[in-house]
Structure 1
Amino acid sequence: MSGSFLRTFQLGLKGLAVQKMRASLAALGIFIGTATVIWLVAMGEGVSYRAQQQILELGAKNVIVRTKKPTASSDGNAASSQVRRYGLTRADFRRITSNIPSIESSVPMRELQFQLRNGNLTTDSKLVGCMEEYLSLNQLEIARGRWLTQRDRGQKVVVLGHETTTKLFPYENPIGKTIWVGTEYYVIIGQTKSRTASAAIGGSLDARDYNLDAYIPLETMRQRIGDMVMKRVGVGGSNWYGEEVQLSQITVKVNAIEYVNETASIIETLLQRYH
């Protein structure tokens, strides 16, 4: 048996020596095939890592509920009313937090497009009315100053995103200075560090650039700006049109990852019942 194996091995070596080109091509084919598999695996792992990072950014145990603006065809009152009311409400937030035992914490927020101004410098920013927990929930970090606290509720204070700060204060420290938020002055108490924009997740969540944000207490937004925002429409802005939205988003953190789907299902049922 061993002699037969040795003769077969010797014949194989002679064959390779005679047909060097064919042997080289065969070896190259094996290498290319192996390299392709390795590359595809590496690429797949890279995509998987990016997807995992996006999930971690959002929070693996988080359920995010967003207000969605209705289309004209789905809103029967839009044509006959000058004010469109839609979206999540403070009552929704109370119902969700008081009826679902698997929720560890919950954070409401509201966002609006606003023009911010410092002297002759202006920028269009996403003004976010939020709670103290918003910072850690979205993995933001403070570069200068401080974040919002409970004692800031109802106060005219603002924390600027990195890019918002650069546009309004390109050459100076903004902490302690004031800016116009709409028609009112706000005191700048903090600035966030630069952060990579989050990618869109399917059709559910849009891409988000936190660097362009400005953050004020949610209670301040309710008191100073209100739930209703009026906009000029029509030729030359001759008409007014209003939108009334109480909350743009509710983020709930579930106490165990295995309860995420069940919690999301209960939230969906609650919203369908009261909307």
Structure 2
Amino acid sequence: MLFPFLRTLRMGLKSLMLHFLRSSLATLGILIGVMAVIWLVAWGEGVSYQIQQQINELGARNIIIKSVKPADVGRAGSFIFEYGLKRDDYARIVTTIPTVERAVPMREISREVRFRDRKTQVQLIGCTPEYFEINNLNVDRGRLMTDRDLSERDNAVIIGVETAQFLFPFEAPIGRKIMTEIDHEFYTVIGVTQERDPSAAIGSSFAGRDYNMDIYMPLTTFRSRIGDEVIIIGSGSREGELVELNQITVTVENINQVEETAEIIETLLEKFHKERDYSITIPKELLKQAEVLRTMFNVLLVLIAGISLLVGGVGIMNIMLATVTERTREIGIRRAMGAKQRDIVAQFLAETIVLTSVGGVLGVIGGFACGLFTEGVQWFFKSFLTDMWEALPATVQDMTPIIAPWSVVAAFSISVAVGVIFGIYPAMRASKMDPIEALRHE
């Protein structure tokens, strides 16, 4: 049984080689389709991996509570609008919820900082020493914040590495004093953080953050030197916002307690807040959502790439129909010599399968070049289209394609299936020819 099948394949391959250019063009559609499936899935997996890494960095045992500006803040006039998380909220969470292992408060504000004639816009972060641990921030020079800095409200700051490079291109930053605009306060640099990859925005839950540009100071210093109010001066108006804390990161003792603790926090905040001026996000839930989105994204990409395979299949069917017409006399001779209909079907199906299999194999080989192609495109954008490159999200800039084994198997299997499906009609048409009419064909 095996030998007749191999003989049929050999005959099909020999027939296709007689029309090499036409066969190559027919194979090209399958090749592109298979490559498209592998490349698109690899890019999708790469982006998904970056997003999952960002979520994992937030911590599976963490609950993120953030202040949210209510929608009705945009009223004109001169007033102080108070919203968001309070220090009392932080105290209640720590003292009344037994499953909480620790809670890390944070306050931030945008400010321009200056050293001599150099100035830049940064985010000033008021925090506690634990903030550096939960955000994987390490010191490159100097030291990190201590509980003593917090208790004594020292005018000490740790600056991000990129801010340090900008403000101190020729000087050692440790021990230097920087000044904040508006407040005109001076702060002594006690440390410089190591370079850390920026975090990308995750939907509407988290904005992206460039840790290398931030400046960190004790939360107590932030409160005493800068305060809770932010004054916004507009055209004909003077508005103020009073926010005590921008974020509280809660860590629970056990990962199974995350949802339960989040519900308790929700109930607690609802009791003391007149309106919902906060959001509660569970990274663990974000991770589940990311998995669902990744699956949906991959299915969509495969369907899009499958259109290429479909078009390639139509092209192969057209080629095979033309081949059947050209070889009508050959079909008549074979039938006259005793070939059965199934022999004719097998011959033309074999030719179609050979075409799609060759295209599939070449497509798989081309699929493994996805990484090199992506690196080349990233290098081109980084070197010649700098503005466009910098506008891209960090997840795209840092993305490395991940070739999923299932996509290779699926792409090749689909290409062979396309050959069978689109080869049936030409093969059946060839087998149903009348031998006498076929012999008369010129």
Counterpart for residue 259 of structure 1: 257
Partner of 1:158: 157
Structure-1 residue corresponding to 2:14: 17
Structure 1 runs (4+) greater than 4 angstroms displaced: 21-34, 78-81
1:224-235 equivalences under 5 Å are 224-235=225-236
Looking at structure 2, the residues matched to 16 and 241 of structure 1 have their Cα atoms a distance apart, in angstroms, of: 79
Letter in 1 for 2:109: L
Task: Compare the two structures and name the one with the higher helix fraction.
Answer: 2
Q: How far is 1:105 from its partner?
A: 1.6
Q: Provide the residue aligned with 1:175 in structure 2.
A: 174
Alignment correspondent of 1:272: 270
Quickly say closer, same or farther: Cα 1:211–1:5, change in 2 above 3 A. Answer: closer
Q: Distance in 1 between matches of 2:89 and 2:108?
A: 17
Whether the aligned pair in 2 keeps the contact of 1:229 and 1:244 (CA below 8 Å) is yes
Name the structure 1 match of 2:302: none
Q: Which moved more, 1:55-64 or 1:208-217?
A: 55-64
Structure 2: which amino acid aligns with 1:142? V
Task: List aligned pairs for 1:86-235, cutoff 5 A.
Answer: 86-153=83-150, 154-181=153-180, 182-235=183-236
- Quick one: structure 1 residues 186 and 7, their matched pair in 2 at CA, closer, same or farther if it must change by over 3 Å? closer
Q: Secondary structure at the match of 1:19?
A: helix
Does the residue aligned with 1:194 lie in a helix, a strand or coil? coil
The equivalent residue for 1:56 is 56
The answer to whether the Cα contact below 8 Å between 1:16 and 1:23 also exists between their aligned partners in 2 is no
CA distance in 1, matches of 2:259, 2:43: 29
2:70 matched residue in structure 1:
70
Question: Do the aligned partners of 1:67 and 1:87 also contact (CA within 8 Å) in 2?
Answer: yes
DSSP 3-state at the match of 2:45: helix
SS state of the match for residue 92, structure 2?
helix
Give the conservation status (yes or no) of the 8 Å contact 2:155–2:221: yes
State, as a whole percentage, how many aligned pairs show the same letter: 48
Q: Indicate if the aligned counterparts of 2:51 and 2:200 stay in contact, CA closer than 8 A.
A: no
User: In 2, distance between residues paired with 1:24 and 1:120?
Assistant: 66
Does the 8 A contact of 2:78 with 2:238 survive in 1? no
Shift of 1:132: 0.2
* Displacement of 1:86: 0.6
CA distance in 1, matches of 2:7, 2:42: 38
Q: Cα deviation per residue 1:4-28 (whole Å; 9 max; x = unaligned)?
A: 4423432332232123348767776
Tell me the distance in 2 between the aligned counterparts of 1:48 and 1:260: 24
Per-residue CA deviation, residues 108-167 of structure 1 (Å, 9 max, x unaligned), is 010011222222222222111000011111111211101110111111111111222222
Provide the C-alpha distance between the structure 1 equivalents of 2:224 and 2:171, rounded to a whole number of angstroms. 30
Q: Secondary structure at the residue paired with 2:108?
A: strand
Q: Which has the higher contact order (CA 8 A, sep 6+)?
A: 2
Rg larger in structure: 2
Task: Give the deviation of 1:173 after TM superposition.
Answer: 0.6
Which amino acid in the other structure matches residue 235 of structure 2?
Answer: G
Gaps of 5+ in 1: none
Moved more, 220-229 or 6-15: 6-15
Q: CA deviation at 1:34?
A: 4.4
Which is worse superposed, 132-141 or 22-31?
22-31
Instruction: Pick closer, same or farther for the CA change 1:250–1:10 going to 2, 3 Å.
Output: same
Instruction: Give, in whole Å, the separation in 1 of the partners of 2:225 and 2:2.
Output: 90
Q: TM-score, normalized by length of structure 2?
A: 0.55
The CA deviation string for residues 160-214 of structure 1, in whole angstroms up to 9 with x for no partner, is 1122222221211110111223322211101112222211111121111112211
Report the CA distance shift for 1:8/1:199 in structure 2 as closer, same or farther (over 3 A).
Answer: closer
SS at match of 2:106: strand
Partner of 2:381: none
Consecutive unaligned residues of structure 2, counting only runs of 5 or more, are: 274-442
TM superposition shift of 1:87: 0.6
Residue deviations 1:51-109, cap 9 Å, x none? 221112222322111111223xx249x55661111110011111222233332221001
| Letter aligned with residue 192 of structure 1 | T
RMSD (Å), alpha carbons: 2.5
Amino acid at match of 1:45: E
Residue identity opposite 2:250 in structure 1: V
Aligned residues between the structures: 266
Distance 2:50 2:252 in 1: 23
Alpha-carbon distance in 1 for matches of 2:38, 2:161: 39
Counterpart-to-counterpart distance in 1, 2:5 and 2:179: 88
Please say which of residues 98-107 and 22-31 is displaced more in the overlay: 22-31
